Structure 1
Amino acid sequence: MSGFDLDNVTKFLERRWEDILQLAAEHLLVVVISLAIALVIGVVLGLLVWDRATPRAIAITSASVAITIPSLALLALLSPILGLGWGPTIVALVFYSLLPIIRNTVVGLREIPAHILESATAMGMSRPRVLLTTQLPLAWPVILTGTRVAAQLSLGIAAIAAYVAGPGLGQYIFKGLSSLGSKNALNYALAGTVGVIVLALLVDGAFVLISRYTTSRGLRA
């Protein structure tokens, strides 16, 4: 791989900034889609098992074991079934996002004091209403923290998904690695890597804003 040359990097970015922006948009989009799916699945699973010891242990343990599967191995297993591109990428990202979301949903719901739930029930609220108006709002900050962790994890794994022609900045990283010694090998790798880092910072900032505007002041205090 050729050495770092600032002038060469600048010219490279000037020539390919539109392509980089498109790849960054694809990278962000595939993560957002996957995270939305994982959030629905993870929260539903968490709601089903949070107050049941055995199902809760099975769900969290299964998700914990699943996340140890190497991402390249999972993508390789998915590609013959789902083909290349978006399909295996989304499934893999959902797969790896489930653990922090399920775990934090369970933790958030279990941390709600029993007397609060008893008070809500005593006021005549039905179980679904207690869930929607009391449990989920109180557990939301913890659930959001799990989703924030899942987002950062997904941004990194989405880059690896370029191995199966997945969308995003990983294409530049793999292109740089596959062309070691060429003039732009380092430029491709840097553009992809720095792009992922910038997206991670932007997404993390977005979660700070989401937390601020979706969490009640009493819970933020």
Structure 2
Amino acid sequence: MSKMINVLSIVLFIITTLFITNITTQNTIINPPTYISLKHNFSNFQQEQKYYCVPASIKSIISYINNNDLLSQDELANEMKTNNETLMVNAIPILNKHINLQLHPNFLEYQNYVLEQNFGKKDEQKLWLQNLVKLSLKNDIPVILGIKVSPPWWLNSQVKHVVIIIAILIDDNPDETIYYVSDAFDRTTNKTFTGHNLINMFTIASANLGAIATPL
């Protein structure tokens, strides 16, 4: 009789363990990362002057959306009042001005968002950026990002630069979300940063820190 009780106890223990394990597994399901990108191949233009990262990037975005290459970097630089650098607040109205609304009658104008010092320190900031980029790319609209200090491909640098976000791999953990960028500096499209990298990209205190521009 005692042997039978022991056997029943062991069976019940195994069943209970399997049941608890199954519940735990169901409650800790991790969603696979979601990849979202522009719908077409993005051709970027290499900047023609060392301080032309904004004119070159704006030209690339206009060319992608309008499907033509009519404007020169010099023309855009002149319109955006480029003088050794280009302020995003001057660049975004020019970008909106040159979008062909006959081709895109429902186009929502690009907006300029100034990112505060140490942006990315808080999870809600990472999620805000992640959602904004996701919505823009789903609508086939590139996102322009102005950064200051040290992106992961230029470690320990002190730079002011602009890149274009062309794809995103969204993770449940916003620190692990990967952003794919196109860079007018060398025309590469294989540079990336993660949500974890953000805090190192916006560390300089200034009136106009990094900025993101998106039409949503």
Computing the radius of gyration from Cα coordinates, the structure with the larger value is 2
When you count helix as a share of all residues, which structure comes out higher?
A: 1
Query: Larger relative CO (CA 8 A, sep 6+): 1 or 2?
Result: 1
When you count strand as a share of all residues, which structure comes out higher?
A: 2
Would you call these one fold, judging by a TM-score over 0.5?
Answer: no
Q: TM-score, normalised by structure 2?
A: 0.22
